[in-house]
Chain A
Amino acid sequence: MSDRVENRLFQNRYVVDVGRPHITVKPHVNPSDALVAMTRVCPAGCYSRNDQGQVEIVADGCMECGTCRVVCAQTGEIEWSYPRGGFGVLFKFG
């Protein structure tokens, strides 16, 4: 399924702020259910689990919807800010 998200995101325009991701997952041993849910619910497929079961994020394809921010607000496992001005997704049609 994640392959197909990537194909979709390929249609979009992004200005990636290299080296300054606007979302980060805090170091953890066992992710909460909320964080694990993001591996399925993130509409850009940014979240995945590594071999040790921890959740990782690559935010390059992020559409800045804020779903993960809302879902993980209670657990505090992610840090979320908007990209710096001018960076991030650029919708042509919106």
Chain B
Amino acid sequence: MTRNHFDAIVVGAGPSGNAAAYMLAQRGLNVLQIERGEYAGSKNVQGAILYADALEKIIPDFRDEAPLERHIVEQRVWMMDDAGHTGMHHRSDDYNEDKPNRYTILRAQFDKWFSRCVKEAGATVIYETTVTSLMRDASGWVVGVHTDRNGEGITADVVILAEGVNGLVGRASGLREELKPENVALAVKEMHFLPQEVIDARFNLKGDEGVVIEAMGTITEGMVGTAFLYTNRESISVGIGCMVSDFTDVGQATPHGLLDRFKAHPSIRPLLEGSEIKEYAAHLIPEGGYKAIPELVGNGWLVVGDAGHFVNAVHREGSNLAMTTGRLAAETVADIILSGGSCSRHNLAAYVDAVKESFVMKDMKKYKDIHGFLKKGRHVVDLYPRLMNRAAQTWFRVDGVDKRSKESTIMREAWRARGIGGLMGDAFKLMRAWR
């Protein structure tokens, strides 16, 4: 018991697990972190954007060491129809600052670096080991884990489940329900390599400047989803994702077929031309929102990151919620253990309070109805981008038609597509869900 006993066991070495393990080790706790991959990041997939603020609160000078690709100076949001896009672009030289706010990263490299920080902080990290189940005492209190390497199991005062979206350990142990197909998105992604100067020229960038494109519209073929294109230093991450229940029940596409058509879109193809593909990845994203958040704490355990369903799908944020919940969990656990308390459900509830006080739960709560809105109003992702592109064409073409007639054409097309009641209803429901 003594030799194999830790203050805390962290299951998983993604952003939430690394944040938790790092903070616990910093506070002087005896931490064991268990990762199933050969190295941290080998099982992890993300777009990926790193939001500096969440990491800064854990490793303030991370910019000196972390493998970062480009800092983002321009955001493009594209509404796509089959022939083109209508969008909003925001670019500012203000983002060329001493401490940029957002970076593109490659998760496999970033996670490896973060994991090295965790070890340097003093945690014990073991790789290539899958946690198979939780160890409980007679009263049901979680007292450790079993792995596929150690039959007897390893004990700890608390187990932090940072096991990612599938969350097999927690589910097998009945801590939370099975994921529903309508609450997760399946995203596929490719890594396209191009020389740095080609990317700079195509996207109007210099130095480490980067661009991100988020796209929606007919590209998801009637399913609720979005696509993205992020510039890295010498590569472009391009991907698309839709709700799993839409893939099975609404669409006819394969995920890779959908990605191929997005890549072949006239607005996207020139950006990728001549690139060499070096990886194809797929991953689930928990997008059920606030209402899908499971029980977060119990006697001897708590859950952080994707396993806790902490993703703000509207703003494409997840890794920052993961790092923040990991940090808050570690602070709660360290406070309890260093003051000689027990990691009971009652004491660990301080973590839930901290999450509620933070931007994490405030944002999750703000968008609690968006998920339901999109589930019932699937047409908005297809119809409105099409209408916007039609309207833009009508407006910008100079063809001898007077402007007042053009205005009525635009209004008539929207009216015909959805009816005045439909248009008003969509606007009202979206406003209510957004509030």
Contact = CB atoms under 8 A, between A and B. Distances in A.
Given A71-B248, A85-B128, A94 B280 contact: no
Given A8-B256, A11-B280, A92-B108, 12 more contacts: A1-B256, A8-B277, A11-B278, A41-B247, A69-B166, A83-B130, A86-B37, A86-B127, A86-B128, A88-B43, A91-B45, A94-B46
A21 interface: no
Contact of B107 (A11, A34, A40, A94): A94
Given A41-B247, A41-B255, A43-B255, A86 B38 contact: yes
A67 B188 contact: no
24 contacts: A11-B278, A11-B280, A12-B279, A37-B248, A40-B252, A43-B254, A45-B254, A45-B256, A63-B282, A64-B43, A66-B284, A67-B184, A67-B247, A67-B282, A82-B166, A84-B130, A86-B129, A91-B41, A92-B108, A93-B109, A94-B44, A94-B48, A94-B106, A94-B108
B279 A70 contact: no
Chain A interface SS verdict (over half): loop
Most chain B beta carbons < 10 A, residue from A1, A11, A43, A92: A43
Contacts of B280: 8-9, 11-12, 63
A63 B36 contact: no
A70 B244 contact: yes
B281 A63 contact: yes
A94 B284 contact: no
A65 B256 contact: no
Interface stretch (B53-61, B80-88, B174-182, B201-209): B174-182
A73 B282 contact: no
A45 B179 CA distance: 22
Contacts of A15: 38
A85 B41 contact: no
Contact of A70 (B108, B127, B181, B253): B181
Contact of B178 (A44, A73, A84, A91): A73
B254 A70 contact: no
A64 B44 CA distance: 10
A1 B254 contact: yes
B271 to A, nearest CB: 18
A41 B283 CA distance: 13
Given A11-B277, A85-B130, A90-B37, A41 B48 contact: no
A93 B252 CA distance: 29
A28 interface: no
B235 interface: yes
B43 A43 contact: no
B191 interface: yes
A26 B354 CA distance: 44
B178 A89 contact: no
Interface in A18-75: 34, 37, 40-41, 43-45, 63-67, 69-71, 73
Contact of A71 (B42, B45, B244): B244
A67 B279 CA distance: 19
B374 interface: no
A83 B128 CA distance: 10
B244 A67 contact: yes
Contacts of A9: 280
Nearest to A39: B254
Contacts of A37: 247-248
Contacts of A91: 41-45, 107-108, 279, 281
Nearest to A64: B43
Contacts of B248: 34, 37, 41, 71
Contacts of A92: 108, 278-279
Nearest to A36: B248
Contacts of B37: 86, 90
B162 to A, nearest CB: 15
B111 A94 contact: yes
Contacts of A34: 248
A73 B178 CA distance: 7
A15 B179 CA distance: 27
B147 interface: yes
Nearest to B107: A94
B109 to A, nearest CB: 7
Nearest to A61: B280
B38 A90 contact: yes
B151 interface: no
A65 B41 contact: no
Given A8-B277, A84-B130, A85-B147, A67 B284 contact: yes
B46 A5 contact: no
A42 to B, nearest CB: 8
Nearest to B167: A66
Nearest to B44: A94
